[in-house]
Amino acid sequence: MDKTLPDLATAVAGIEDGMSVMIGGFGGSGAPIELIHALIDRFLATGHPKNLTVINNNAGNGHVGLAALIEQGLVAKLICSFPRSSDPVVFTEAYKAGSVALELVPQGTLAERIRAGGAGIPAFYTPTSYGTLLAEGKPVEEFDGRFYVQERWLKADYALVKAHRGDTLGNLTYRMAARNFGPLMCMAAARAIVQVSELVQPGAIDPEAVITPGIFVQGVVEVPDPAQEEALNRANAHHPEVPA
């Protein structure tokens, strides 16, 4: 019952061409940079995985993390709410070139669709986007005199998530606003792979403080002192590194 994974390469080894991958984080907070870079390294060495559908709130920033995943050519489609950032050039160019498709989803609907995927709710109604372009083609129903849009659940083959502490059973805590989409994506993915800054034994996390219970997690890999996307971008980092 030990869900510990020995290293980052093993952690991302199961992701195959064409799969859907939820990636945690809101902007840089909660972005699992090391897992993403391990996936890029595998692609650069083997040509796989490619044609991924990636679900994230944003579309990357600079040339690391999700932006690098797009820049290196692994991503065929992005489902997100806000594909802008302080340095959005990678996604913007890929989108304008038609090499990455975009499904734009309001942020709260994105969160609720992911939760629904994890909670076995195939569809729900929301007031969000009613009367707008983003509701086009979706069923509309009236409840109590108000109109609502039907939205479908969102699941994925994999989730790549960054947590703070994790035990070997997969119980997780997060750090401040880095929590964001992580708990939801762990629920909605067939396999949730989590990088934790500190791996501990069962019992080390207060049962009251567990944010993601281990039932939602399939693999845990320890990454002490993980990189912050914001700090990498302020240092103009690239992945892979640009030869000097």
Partner 1 sequence: MRLTPTQMAWRAAQDIEDGAYVNLGIGQPEMVARFQPPGRQAIFHTENGILGFGEAPEPGAEDWDLINAGKKAVTLKPGTAFFHHADSFAMVRGGHLDVAILGAYEVAENGDLANWSTGPKGVPAVGGAMDLVHGAKRVAVMMDHVTKDGKPKLLSRCSLPLTGVGCVTRVYSSLAVVDIEGGHFVLREKVPGLSFDELQAMTGAPLHTDGPVADLIAPEL
Q: In whole angstroms, how close is the CB of 20 to a copy of itself at the nearest point?
A: 15
**Does 175 participate in binding partner 1 (rule CB under 8 A)?**
yes
| Distances in whole angstroms, Cα of residue 18 to Cα of each of 21, 48, 158 | 9, 10, 11
Residue 199's H or E segment, with its range, is strand 189-200
Stretch that binds a copy of itself, among 20-28, 30-38, 115-123, 225-233 (CB under 8 A): 115-123
**Does 148 participate in binding a copy of itself (rule CB under 8 A)?**
yes
Stretch that binds a copy of itself, among 62-70, 96-104, 141-149, 221-229 (CB under 8 A): 141-149
Stretch that binds a copy of itself, among 21-29, 96-104, 124-132, 189-197 (CB under 8 A): 124-132
Q: What is the DSSP letter of 29?
A: B
Phi, psi of 142 (to 5 degrees): -100, 130
Q: Which of residues 52-71 bind partner 1 (CB under 8 A)?
A: 57
Contacts with 48 (C-beta within 8 Å, 6 or more apart), sequence order: 16, 17, 42
Q: In whole angstroms, how close is the CB of 187 to partner 1 at the nearest point?
A: 6
Residue 233's H or E segment, with its range, is helix 229-234
Residue among 216, 219, 223, 237 that touches partner 1 (CB under 8 A):
216
Count of positions on this chain that bind a copy of itself (CB under 8 A): 24
**Does 120 participate in binding a copy of itself (rule CB under 8 A)?**
yes
CB distance 171 to 4 below 8 Å: no
